[in-house]
Amino acid sequence: MSRVKRRREPLERLRHHKLMTREIREALPPLYATEDTPMSEKLLVAKFFCPYNGWRWYATEFDGNDIFFGYVEGAVNEWGYFPLSGLLTATVGGGIPAVERDLHFQPVRFSDLAE
């Protein structure tokens, strides 16, 4: 019986979960697939957050490799692009992972986020 070697994310051992799962990857439409959808109606599929500074990243599209499009709540709240690689490798003192995935987040339309 052959064993399939699972690819590990950076810092996964410290984080104890994957930021990007197969289920999330499959649920995210490709980049530009929802560009005709009004922002208020875009589906936020996954939520990532930094417990140390309060930043939140909501993914709505993914290029299949590294780049998300979504909504970011941080120094400024705005729609834009952000890299998975940046979320995976961000650390705080002592190499502690800085970004987590909200394991209980359920996809929601942007207009329903504030509710």
Q: CB of 69 within 8 A of CB of 31?
A: yes
pLDDT exceeds 70 at position 7: no
Q: Please state, in angstroms and rounded to a whole number, the distance separating the CA atoms of residues 59 and 69.
A: 6
pLDDT for 54-103, tens place per residue? Answer: 999 999 999 999 999 999 999 999 999 999 999 999 988 878 888 999 99
What's the residue count for the chain? 115
Closest CA to 9 of 28, 61, 17: 17
**CB neighbour class for 97 (10 Å; exposed up to 12, middle 13-18, buried from 19):** buried
Is 32 in a helix, a strand, or coil?
coil
What average pLDDT does the chain have?
A: 89
pTM comes to 0.86
Domain boundary assignment for the chain:
12-33+40-105
Q: CB of 30 within 8 A of CB of 63?
A: yes
**11 band by pLDDT with thresholds 50, 70 and 90:** low
pLDDT exceeds 90 at position 34: yes
**5 band by pLDDT with thresholds 50, 70 and 90:** low
Instruction: Please give the angle made by the CA atoms of 81, 47 and 88, to the nearest 5 degrees.
Output: 65
